[in-house]
Each structure stands twice: as C-alpha cells, then as structure tokens.
C-alpha cells in the first residue's frame, strides 16, 4: 500500500482502528481478531490505533498477543481518562485526567500491556481543561527524551490549543472525528494542521458504519455505544438515509462501495491525512484497503461535498455529555 507522512511519521495510507474488537461495538473472539490483525499486516496496513480506555485495557492486550513478534508496525495509543476500577467495562470512565503523574502512569502501563519498548504515537484522548496543555506536552516531551514514546498526538483539540501545544514540542498528529457527515475539522483544525505540517488522523471515517449503507441499526447489540448517539436514533437515521442513497449513485459510477468512496474522498482532499476505519471483518478489511487505489474526479468531490453539507445532516455526532469533552 502507498505510504503517507503524518508529521515525521511515515505509515500506510490507510490505518486500522482496533477499538471495536474489544469495546464499543460488541467486540470479537480473540482468535478471530488476531487473524484479522495479521491479515491487515499481510495486506499492507502498518498503523494500528488503540487506547487505554478500549476495554479498558483489553484492546492493548489484544494487540500485544497479535503483534508480539512484529517489528515493522506502528501502534498508537492514548491516555487521558480517569478510570474507576470498581466499575465494569466502559462504566469505569468517570472523568478526564491529564495530570503529569497519570500521563506517566498510563505510559508505563500501556508499554507493559502492549509488550513494546516504546509507544510509537501517544495521544491525549481528550483535552483536560484543568491541566495547561503546555504541562501535558511538556510531560510527553520528557517521555520522548526517556525513549518511552516516539511521537506526540492530541485528540479533538481546538486550533488554539494545538498552536500552544506545538510551540512546546512538535505535535505529530491530531486525531479527531472526520467523515462525510462530521466535517467540523475542515473549518479550523485541518487548515492549522496543514500550516504546521501536523498529520491528521480521522477517527470514525465511515460514520461509525452508517455511511457504508450496510449498517442495520435495528441489529445493534444491547451494549453498542452507537445506541446512545443522536445520529443513530430512528428519526435521524431515516432523515440521513437520503444522503446515503445519493452517495450510492456516485459509488455506482466508480464501481466501488460507499465505504471506499467515503475513504477515497478524504484521501483525495488532504495529503497529510491517514484514516483509521474500524474493522472486525475480513471483507471490510479488503474493501477499505482497496480505497487507497481509487481516484475520484474533482467534480465528484465537489458533488459529495455538496450532498453532505453540515446543514443536511440530522442529529449531533455525540450526546450533550460527550460534546462537553470536546475542546472548542
């Protein structure tokens, strides 16, 4: 697969989001997950995304089992949530915590869980308004000097905070939600990343599956995280379905899937961008990888931009509580 640069890091032009293998979307049997992760490497993916909070912990442990003998892959992980061990699963998340002490603790523990000598890319998962970003990045820079991490990333950060952070130590990548139906990043953060030579890693690039046109909302499991999101409520789904039908017409023109078109659209728009679609099935893996070879005519890029204008989208991407954790 072609490679792309995010900051100074060179990785496959499509990465892989591993969250859904252990949390949020129902998980996967370990053996199957490891098989898919190995196939991903076989097919050219070398950039894998995880976090302390996915499981919690289970997703990092899964990557250790899958990749203990693999050298030439990059694993990105994240710190930044306060966890209450007396609770189960995702209910452990009880706030934000970017105190330097916690950043160091998570780095040490993630290294052990991943079974690696260094973390290739370490992201702050959410900006913690109680800790100055300069202190957060200063602590991460110290971890670089100590060899514990290689690169610094920030998630869902505002352009303002990003500039302050980058002045302390070069930031390699910003990871924020970005897809056809979540285009807020186009306003400020993508231009800022371009100006500062910072890579951009869109999470949920397939709209958590909705944009593929294949997701059956009524079949989502009881604990599926998407059930809490405004865009996955019945009325919003019905209204947004029209957008998918229009996307399908363009996909048919290119003889590709909606997922491929959604990924090719963003790859075409920004050179320093590497999407990390969430994958739990081998056919989805193959489909997404092939997106890196699709060329879309500029007239279709503009047409897709127009179909998915923010005012055409029904429902917010997160609920009120989750939106409050986004740095604006």
Catalytic residue set: 54
Secondary structure letter of residue 49 according to DSSP: E
CB-based burial, 279-301: b 16+ in 10 Å, e otherwise: bbeeebbebbbbbbebebeeebb
Instruction: Count the residues of the shown chain that bind ligand NAP, applying the rule CB under 6 A.
Output: 29
214 part of the interface to ligand NAP, by CB under 6 A = yes
Find out whether the peptide bond into 56 is cis, omega within 30 degrees of 0.
yes
Which residues in the 273-292 window bind ligand NAP by CB under 6 A? 276-281, 284, 287-288
Contact status, residue 2 vs residue 273, Cβ threshold 8 Å:
no
165 part of the interface to ligand NAP, by CB under 6 A = no
Cite the beta strand spans of the chain per DSSP E: 3-6, 9-12, 16-17, 47-49, 74-79, 81-83, 93-96, 119-124, 149-155, 173-177, 199-203
The residue number with the shortest CB distance to ligand NAP is 278
Between 143 and 211, CB nearer to ligand NAP:
211
17 part of the interface to ligand NAP, by CB under 6 A = yes
Between 92 and 147, CB nearer to ligand NAP:
92
Between 146 and 319, CB nearer to ligand NAP:
319
Chain length of the chain:
328
Residue 153 Cβ vs ligand NAP, minimum distance, rounded to whole Å: 9
200 part of the interface to ligand NAP, by CB under 6 A = no
Query: Site mask, ligand NAP, residues 54-93, x = CB under 6 A?
Result: ----------------------------------------
Residue 2 Cβ vs ligand NAP, minimum distance, rounded to whole Å: 18
Binding segment (CB under 6 A) for ligand NAP, from list 127-135, 197-205, 244-252, 312-320:
197-205
Residue 70 Cβ vs ligand NAP, minimum distance, rounded to whole Å: 18
227 part of the interface to ligand NAP, by CB under 6 A = no
| Other C-beta atoms lying within 10 Å of the C-beta of residue 159 | 19
- Dist. CA 168–CA 312, nearest whole Å: 39
Can you say whether the dihedral through the CA atoms of 180, 186, 190, 191 is positive or negative?
A: positive
Between 11 and 155, CB nearer to ligand NAP:
155
Angle between helix 58-67 and helix 30-42 axes, rounded to 10 deg: 60
Residues in Cβ contact with 299 at an 8 Å cutoff, skipping those fewer than 6 apart? none
Binding segment (CB under 6 A) for ligand NAP, from list 131-139, 145-153, 164-172, 201-209:
201-209
What kind and span of H or E run contains 301?
helix 298-307
Residue with tokens 């710190």: 79
Identified binder of ligand NAP from the candidate list 79, 203, 232, 308, rule CB under 6 A: 203
Identified binder of ligand NAP from the candidate list 207, 250, 266, 289, rule CB under 6 A: 207
In angstroms, how far is CA 68 from the centroid of its own chain? 23
| Other C-beta atoms lying within 10 Å of the C-beta of residue 229 | 18
Interacting residue ranges for ligand NAP, rule: CB under 6 A? 17-20, 25, 49, 125, 155, 175, 203-209, 212, 214, 257, 259, 276-281, 284, 287-288
């Amino acid at each position: 697969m072609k490679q792309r640069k995010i900051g100074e890091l060179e990785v496959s032009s499509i990465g892989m989001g591993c969250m859904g293998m252990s949390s949020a979307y129902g998980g996967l049997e370990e053996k199957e997950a490891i098989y898919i992760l190995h196939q991903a490497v076989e097919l050219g993916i070398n950039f894998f995304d995880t976090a302390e909070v996915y499981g919690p912990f289970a997703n990092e442990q899964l990557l250790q089992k899958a990749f203990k003998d693999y050298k030439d892959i990059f694993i990105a992980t994240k710190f930044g949530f306060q966890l209450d061990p007396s609770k189960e699963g995702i209910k452990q998340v009880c706030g934000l915590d970017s105190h330097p002490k916690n950043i160091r603790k998570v780095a040490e523990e993630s290294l052990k869980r991943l079974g690696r000598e260094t973390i290739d890319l370490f992201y702050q998962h959410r900006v913690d308004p109680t800790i100055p970003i300069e202190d957060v990045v200063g602590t991460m820079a110290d971890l670089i000097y100590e060899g514990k991490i290689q690169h610094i990333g920030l998630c869902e950060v505002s352009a303002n905070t990003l500039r302050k952070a980058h002045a302390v130590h070069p930031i390699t990548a910003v990871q924020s939600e970005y897809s056809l139906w979540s285009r807020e990043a186009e306003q400020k953060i993508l231009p800022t990343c371009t100006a500062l030579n910072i890579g951009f890693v869109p999470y949920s690039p397939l709209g958590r599956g909705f944009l593929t046109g294949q997701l059956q909302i009524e079949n989502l499991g009881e604990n599926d995280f998407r059930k809490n999101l405004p865009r996955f409520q019945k009325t919003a789904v019905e209204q947004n379905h029209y957008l998918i039908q229009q996307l399908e017409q363009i996909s048919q023109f290119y003889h590709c899937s909606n997922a491929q078109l959604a990924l090719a659209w963003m790859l075409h728009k920004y050179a320093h961008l590497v999407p990390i679609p969430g994958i739990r099935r081998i056919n989805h893996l193959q489909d997404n990888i092939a997106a890196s070879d699709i060329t879309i005519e500029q007239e279709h890029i503009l047409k897709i931009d127009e179909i998915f204008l923010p005012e055409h989208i029904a429902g917010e991407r997160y609920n009120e509580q989750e939106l409050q954790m986004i740095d604006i």
